[in-house]
Amino acid sequence: MAKTKSSKPKNNPAKAAAPASANPAAAPGIDIGIKAADRKKIADGLSHFLADSYTLYLKTHNFHWNVTGPMFNTLHTMFETQYTEQWTALDATAERIRALGFNAPGSYREFVALSSIAEEPGLTHSADWREMVRQLVVGNEAVCRTARKALKVADDASDDPSVDLLTQRLQTHEKYAWMLRSLLQ
């Protein structure tokens, strides 16, 4: 009589670590070393940060288009440099929210609900360049405050990638606030 192979599974540590799933093609759950509740808190903080950042981006771009006066060339160029850099950073923030397992906000309605920066429609028709610069100082500082709140939550959960992202953004927005403020002094 021929021997048959044992039906017992072989000791395979890689397979043993993977949880069983009814659908073998289904994506595994997120297990990046951060508890689900902490990932949710971090994603919420990053969503507020993204909303503030997007609102500031729009305001900066708007002022780039509509600045007039003796500072036109300087501010037109400065605003373009800032909004271009901000645009790229928006993507990194949204992608971090996705990496944590949550959807990033992406509509004006969501951004308005989450942002601490108020929209001021019609401003460009009556404001001079000084008011634009003042608003961008205030906006950059608001982004910094929101980043610090989100950074604290991420740091408490040992989420180093989010801490790194927010630290870099803080450095950039503090620099923008300083440079803009210097124009008004």
The answer to whether 120 and 58 are in contact (CB under 8 A) is no
Query: Has residue 23 been placed in a domain?
Result: no
Query: Has residue 10 been placed in a domain?
Result: no
Tell me what the mean pLDDT of segment 156-184 comes to: 97
Query: Has residue 161 been placed in a domain?
Result: yes
Query: Has residue 51 been placed in a domain?
Result: yes
Helix 160-184 and helix 129-156, axial crossing angle in degrees, nearest 10: 160
Query: Has residue 25 been placed in a domain?
Result: no
Find the Cα–Cα–Cα–Cα dihedral 79, 145, 124, 130, rounded to 10°.
Answer: -70
Query: Has residue 13 been placed in a domain?
Result: no
Q: Domain with 90 in it: what CATH number? A: 1.20.1260.10
Distance CA 65, CA 68 (A): 9
At 113-152, the pLDDT tens digits run 999 998 776 555 567 899 999 999 999 999 999 999 999 9
Cβ partners under 8 Å of residue 26, min gap 6: none
At 7-20, the pLDDT tens digits run 444 444 444 444 55
Query: Has residue 18 been placed in a domain?
Result: no
Query: Has residue 3 been placed in a domain?
Result: no
> Counting beta carbons within 10 angstroms of the beta carbon of residue 97, is it exposed (0 to 12), middle (13 to 18) or buried (19 or more)?
buried
| Segments forming the whole domain that contains residue 115 | 33-184
First to last CA, the chain: 97
How many structural domains is the chain composed of?
1
Which of 25-29, 37-41, 133-137, 150-154 is least confident? 25-29
